[in-house]
Amino acid sequence: MRRVRYESTGSPLLLEEAPAPSPGPGELLVRCEAVGVTLPVVRKVTEAAEPVPLGGEIAGEVVAVGEGVTRFHAGDRVTGLCFGHGYADLALLHEAMASPVPDYASAVDAVALVRSGLVALGALAAAHPEPGETALVTAAASGVGHLAVQLARVRGAARVVGAVSAPGKAGFVRSLGADDVVPYDADSWGDPVDYALDAVGGELLTPAIAALAPGGRLVAYSSGGGTIQAYDLLVGAKSVIGFQMARIARGKPELYEHWRQELWRLFAEGALKPAVHGEFALEDAAKAHAVIESRSNLGKVVLRP
């Protein structure tokens, strides 16, 4: 089978032939039809202390199952988060991380919707939105952000503002239902909002806090770090909430599954429409990473083994 790897931090991505893996206890062997490219994985290639397997969201057909697997069988269509080599023709997926793909959805739909949608829905839930409140979403054109814009509206936001890295993304974000779109470097992000969902971190935390109305909440779910000044919170009685999807997946599996079902329901009803920026062959994985690194994507970037 083919898979993508790299030899050292920052080195080129290489397409190689490798033996097909065998599923161990509790594992599924999946023939990958689509692989979602994410910023955390791209960052691992450029920043990790040593090479790591390129994992991430995969979707495809189960071809074999390991000992103890009870929920899935060969021929089932599944999606889930792969922690091993996911940029490959065949990948291992633990049964606990797998969920079925309904007949009305494609593998590309699955990787564009499920994991990114879970993060967006979880971050939104952490903000405890009330109907009629106003929302701000940073990285509003990203794989997670473009779903968060739509979900904020579904959850009753009266006004949704999308913050983006480049003005050229404004039309796309407005097409998702955003009322206003602001570039990160704007002098003002407009009228204050009740809550903000931040996927960027770093220097963007300061203007995101400033964009909150008194009593507003910022949900931080970025791996980009950053520092917040306590005084900026005190003067407006604002708050910051950290959100991590892994904590929900491990500690609250019933809620995790409820969110997955909600995403598929909204998708089936047409209320949530995942967008795909582009589909790349395995040998073009470096080009897919370049799109993410340049922050030029409008929606999800997908590999198609």
Whether the Cβ atoms of residue 30 and residue 61 lie closer than 8 Å to each other:
yes
Structure tokens at 263: 């995403």
| pTM of the full structure | 0.93
72 and 131 belong to one structural domain: no
- Residue 163 predicted with pLDDT over 90: yes
Domain that holds residue 57: 2-101+275-303
In a domain, 259, yes or no: no
pLDDT digits (tens, 9 = 90+) for 18-35: 999 999 999 999 999 999
> Would strands 134-138 and 98-100 be described as parallel, antiparallel, or unpaired?
unpaired
Mark out the alpha helices in the chain (DSSP H runs): 39-47, 107-126, 145-154, 170-175, 205-210, 230-234, 245-251, 253-269, 285-293
**3-state helix vs strand vs coil in the chain, percent to 5:** 35, 30, 40
Whether the Cβ atoms of residue 236 and residue 260 lie closer than 8 Å to each other:
no
96 and 183 belong to one structural domain: no
pLDDT digits (tens, 9 = 90+) for 49-108: 788 899 999 999 999 999 999 999 999 999 999 999 999 999 999 998 899 999 999 999
Report helix, strand or coil for 206: helix
233 and 280 belong to one structural domain: no
pLDDT at position 57: 95
In a domain, 108, yes or no: no
167 and 226 belong to one structural domain: yes
Categorize the per-residue pLDDT at 246 as very low, low, confident or very high, splitting at 50, 70 and 90. confident
124 and 234 belong to one structural domain: yes
Whether the Cβ atoms of residue 105 and residue 34 lie closer than 8 Å to each other:
no
- Residue 223 predicted with pLDDT over 80: no
* Residue 46, domain CATH: 3.90.180.10
Handedness of CA 288, 289, 292, 294 (dihedral sign): negative
Whether the Cβ atoms of residue 200 and residue 138 lie closer than 8 Å to each other:
yes
CB contact set of 168 (below 8 Å; sequence gap of 6+)? none
Structure tokens at 130: 């009330």
Nearest to 72 by CA among 96, 47, 46: 96
Categorize the per-residue pLDDT at 142 as very low, low, confident or very high, splitting at 50, 70 and 90. very high
pLDDT at position 268: 97
Quickly list DSSP for 140-153: TTSTTHHHHHHHHH
pLDDT at position 40: 86
Structure tokens at 57: 């969201």
CB contact set of 250 (below 8 Å; sequence gap of 6+)? none
- Residue 47 predicted with pLDDT over 80: yes
Tell me the percentage of the chain whose pLDDT exceeds 90.
85
- Of the candidates 231, 246, 261, which is a domain's last residue? 246
147 and 48 belong to one structural domain: no
Residue with tokens 């904020």: 152
210 and 133 belong to one structural domain: yes
pLDDT at position 287: 96
How far lies 148's CA from each of 18, 117, 125, 201, 297, in Å? 38, 7, 11, 16, 15
What's the chain's average pLDDT? 95
- Give the angle 199-144-223 at the CA atoms, nearest 5°: 35
In a domain, 79, yes or no: yes
- Residue 10 predicted with pLDDT over 90: no
- The whole-angstrom separation of Cα 222 and Cα 98 is 24
In a domain, 29, yes or no: yes
Window from 67-81, 104-118, 217-231, 268-282 with minimum mean pLDDT: 217-231
Categorize the per-residue pLDDT at 123 as very low, low, confident or very high, splitting at 50, 70 and 90. very high
pLDDT at position 222: 86
Identify which has the larger pLDDT, 248 or 3. 3
Mean pLDDT along residues 265-286: 97
Number of separate helices (H) and strands (E) present in the chain = 9, 15
86 and 126 belong to one structural domain: no
pLDDT at position 205: 95
Report helix, strand or coil for 5: strand
Q: How many structural domains is the chain composed of?
A: 2
Cα 88 versus chain centre, distance: 20
